Amino acid sequence: MADALSLCEFDISPERGFLCSYDADSVVLPSLLAPAAEAAASLPRTLLTGRVRAHLAQLPPVDLSQFCAEASEPRIRTAMLRYAFMVQAYVWGEPEPAARLPATLAVPVWALARRLGQMPLLPYSGYVLDNWDRFDRRKPIALDNIYMMQNFLAGEDESWFVLVHVAIEACAGGMLAQFPALIAAADEGNKAAALSALVAIRSVFEDVNAIFDRMPERCDPYIYFHRVRPYIHGWKDNPALGAGLIYEGVAETGAKPQAFRGQTGSQSSIVPAIDALLGIQHAEDPLRAFLDELHFYRPPAHRNFIDKVRALSHVRRFIEEAGDAALREA
């Protein structure tokens, strides 16, 4: 009998899925980070000047070693979100990309990423999972009740793009809730329980895709491509930035350019978690290699969840051996 899978052990819940488990807009950063929080909040204005780097260069240097050692996870993730947005804006916010990141941004983002076990640039978890809150916290996490906290240029298209991801992640919580039951059903040989879990997961996927279909309602492809996507690129295999970005003041880089991948829905944990549950393998191809690499850009807790599900789940073998047409179909 496999040890039971508990979602909360991995900071996941049926209501919020992989979304942050705290109310992000209630997180208060210490005064040490007030200049950074203010500069980040001003991005929609300073990006329009075409001189965002001059604005961000005014940030005072901060030593986050004590903050990184003592602050709570919600505070660390909120500080990372603010700094990561400024890093992206500094690199991509003017006609020519920046090849060097000043120490006032490089040192803090590197320290925060180190504390979180993630890469020192904007991850999907910072762009989406930790970057939203509700107008009415008694009501569901749905498109008519959520807002984006930190923006680049802001505006309808950028916010809607991110909030559709947020609504999908919340909805997907209903799938994750079925994982423990389905894994146990396969281990116990309980066909009825396995069938009902599979049917429940299928119906949540239909809800997820119905939310996905709403993307064009307020996110225009031209605006997305020209005014949303440019800020989320990374600096690995990106011809615009050659060998990568120099993180000034970060001794361990030896002043060498660093290459990291930009944020993408490919860092969402929903699809890889389902692949792990159903024992789905992918052929060796460039996208597979890319997706495998992005596994290490996810929050460690979510990485561990996917790895544990893949190790625990015997769902595929159970269904292959059960010889039950309804189960196979489901």
Give the binding site for ligand HEM (CB under 6 A): 161, 164-165, 168, 212, 215, 219, 224, 264-266, 268, 271, 287, 291
To ligand HEM, the closest distance from the beta carbon of 179 in angstroms equals: 17
What would the two tokens of residue 67 be?
A: 């903050």
Alpha helix stretches (DSSP H) within the chain: 34-41, 43-46, 52-56, 65-70, 73-92, 103-116, 124, 156-176, 179-188, 191-212, 215-218, 221-223, 270-278, 286-294, 300-312, 315-322, 325-329
The gap from C-alpha 47 to its chain's centroid, in whole angstroms, comes to: 23
Residue in the shown chain whose Cβ atom is closest to ligand HEM? 265
**115 or 302: whose CB is closer to ligand HEM?**
302
To ligand HEM, the closest distance from the beta carbon of 216 in angstroms equals: 8
What would the two tokens of residue 283 be?
A: 């052929």
**95 or 286: whose CB is closer to ligand HEM?**
286
Query: Within 10 A of 185 (CB to CB), how many other CB atoms are there?
Result: 21
Going by the DSSP 8-state scheme, the letter that residue 101 receives in this structure is E
Give how far Cα 83 sits from Cα of 43, 58, 151, 220, Å. 11, 14, 12, 27
To ligand HEM, the closest distance from the beta carbon of 80 in angstroms equals: 20
- State how far the Cα of 247 lies from the Cα of 253, in Å rounded to an integer: 7
To ligand HEM, the closest distance from the beta carbon of 237 in angstroms equals: 11
Which H or E run contains 134? Answer: strand 132-134
**30 or 212: whose CB is closer to ligand HEM?**
212
The SS3 call for residue 312 is helix
To ligand HEM, the closest distance from the beta carbon of 152 in angstroms equals: 15
To ligand HEM, the closest distance from the beta carbon of 298 in angstroms equals: 11
To ligand HEM, the closest distance from the beta carbon of 275 in angstroms equals: 8
**28 or 289: whose CB is closer to ligand HEM?**
289
Q: Directed axis angle between helix 156-176 and helix 270-278, to 10°?
A: 30
Going by the DSSP 8-state scheme, the letter that residue 60 receives in this structure is P
**288 or 314: whose CB is closer to ligand HEM?**
288
**271 or 327: whose CB is closer to ligand HEM?**
271
To ligand HEM, the closest distance from the beta carbon of 269 in angstroms equals: 9
**29 or 291: whose CB is closer to ligand HEM?**
291
**19 or 164: whose CB is closer to ligand HEM?**
164
Residue with tokens 């997961």: 201
| Total number of residues shown for the chain | 330
